[in-house]
Structure formats: C-alpha cells, structure tokens
Amino acid sequence: QTVVAIALVFAIQRLEPAPFYLFDEIDAALDSQYRTAIAKLLSRSSKNAQMVITTFRKEILETANRFYRVYQKNRVSRIECVSQQDAIRVIEEQARAENIDG
C-alpha cells in the first residue's frame, strides 16, 4: 500500500507539480530495498521542488543535502542544523534504544 501511495503522489507531481512537499516518515513501513529506491526518487524529484522529509531510517539520509535535529530542552522544542554524520548517529542511537526497549 505504501509503495502504491508514493507512486500515486509522484505521478500527480509529474502532472501537477507543486513547489514544496512534506513527507512524514514516508519510509517507515518499507524494507531497505524500497527505502533506497524511494530515496533515489526523492533525490531526483528534489531538483524541481523542495522536499522536507522526517525519517528514522538511514537510506533517506544518504541522498539528502540538509539535516535538522528536533529535540526538547526544558519542555521547549528546538531545531538545529546537523551534519549528515550526526543525523545518521542520531538514527542509529534511536534504533539501538528501540531494540533494547522493544
């Protein structure tokens, strides 16, 4: 279902392009093979539109060019620009924490 929905969004994007797209964990239900394919598709599509994507998966980060970390400090949300390496580290730490907790 996820792959079909993503294909539909990008088919519409080709016919009626928008300047901006926001995807919230678009890759969450996909296996690594599909996440890599979606990452490449997003990278190609970002040449004609701005893409903002939230993810907890490494594949999307490999083709992205800007990375932001959102966190809370004193019950206030904060956003900071980070390097690709730092973004990958955050995702790896999250995955380890989920394996320990889950």
Rounded Cα–Cα distance for residues 39 and 93 (Å): 21
Contact 57, 27 (CB under 8 A): yes
Contact 87, 69 (CB under 8 A): yes
Count Cβ neighbours within 10 Å for each residue of 69-98 and write b for 16 or more, e otherwise: eeeeeeeeeeeeeeeeeebeebbeeeeeee
Which residues does residue 23 pair with via DSSP β-bridges, in sequence order?
53
pLDDT at 74 over 90: yes
Q: Give 21-51 pLDDT, tens digit per residue.
A: 999 999 989 999 999 999 998 998 888 899 9
